Amino acid sequence: MYIISWSDFIRYDADGNIYATSRNLPATDRNGISLWTKPLAPHSLENVGDKMIHIISTELKKNPNFSVPSYQYVQKNFESILILT
């Protein structure tokens, strides 16, 4: 996941229940950050902030010929950043 621009949001699960909100996260500049995340379950997102949310997300599918790259986590500014090696 690559964050181009960030704003506060509420994420809802497939049934319309609130799953997560960014309002509980520490205030920090997330623009330009790359993150490794698990695949997201079906959801919808409501932008409740004053800026545009622009995120590029790619989900890897299972492939018997694909090996997971080695990685390390780096803690920086209270954010976990995954560096592929």
The larger pLDDT score, comparing residue 73 to residue 36, is at 36
Q: Characterise 19 by phi-psi region: left (phi > 0), alpha (psi -120 to 50), beta (else).
A: alpha
Distance (Å, whole) CA 8 – CA 46 = 9
Give me the percent of the chain exceeding a pLDDT of 90. Answer: 19
Q: Characterise 32 by phi-psi region: left (phi > 0), alpha (psi -120 to 50), beta (else).
A: left
* Per-residue pLDDT reduced to its tens digit, 18-52: 998 888 877 777 788 888 877 788 889 999 999 99
pLDDT surpasses 90 at 12: yes
- The answer to pTM > 0.85 is no
Q: Kind of pairing, strands 54-56 and 43-47?
A: unpaired
Distance (Å, whole) CA 15 – CA 29 = 31
